[in-house]
Amino acid sequence: MESPLVTLITTALLLYWPAYLGNMMPPIAGALRLPGGSPISVRVLGKNKTWRGVISGVIGGMLGAASLWYLGWSWFAAQTFPVTVGTGALMGAGALGGDLIKSAVKRALSIPSGRPFIPWDQWDFVLGATLCTLFILPLTVPLILTALVVTFVLHFAVNIAAYWLGLKDVWW
């Protein structure tokens, strides 16, 4: 029998998988040098927030939701494919919207690009995706809080591992 905590963590990870994938897509799209790399607004968001990132984040959310639908996992498996992909698009858009809002706040507070802004660096995309799908997904307060805690821990674990492997110049 699976523990309730494991079930809660698994459910949160599966429900937020489209947001995670949407959040991961902009750096991948940038590394692939896909078109659309011009900044949205250097003054408001900084030079690293691009149209390519927003578009790839929405596509990432759609792919994340479609993968869950295809695998028959999570809430997404019980929906029609168009509802699944549409919800994934909203999650991707919300994830990137949360990131853009956080970037605007960082600029307003004169925090330089690339400097840590804890815990918002870890939570921006989860909160954005939550706001965009709050009335669509079966989100509960325990699920949202679990997603925030797990995301916080995963963010640091992945970044520290990437730093140790020489894939990143900073641990955060």
Over 80: is that where the pLDDT of 1 sits?
no
- pLDDT digits 0-9 by tens, 113-149: 889 999 999 999 999 999 999 999 999 999 999 999 9
At 139-149, the pLDDT tens digits run: 999 999 999 99
Q: How confident is the model at residue 168 (pLDDT cuts 50, 70, 90)?
A: confident
Q: What is the Cα–Cα distance from 172 to 170, expressed in whole angstroms?
A: 6
Q: Give the pLDDT of residue 169.
A: 86
39's torsion region: left (phi>0), alpha (psi -120 to 50) or beta?
Answer: beta
> Is the pLDDT assigned to residue 2 strictly greater than 90?
no
Distance (Å, rounded) from C-alpha 34 to C-alpha 77? 31
The residues spanned by each domain of the chain are: 4-164
CB 101 within 8 A of CB 74: no
Question: H/E element holding 69?
Answer: helix 51-71
Cα–Cα distance for residue pair 105/102, rounded to 1 Å: 5
pTM for this model (two decimals)? 0.93
pLDDT tens sequence across 45-104: 989 999 999 999 999 999 999 999 999 999 999 999 999 999 999 999 999 999 999 999
What pLDDT is stored for residue 30 in this prediction?
93
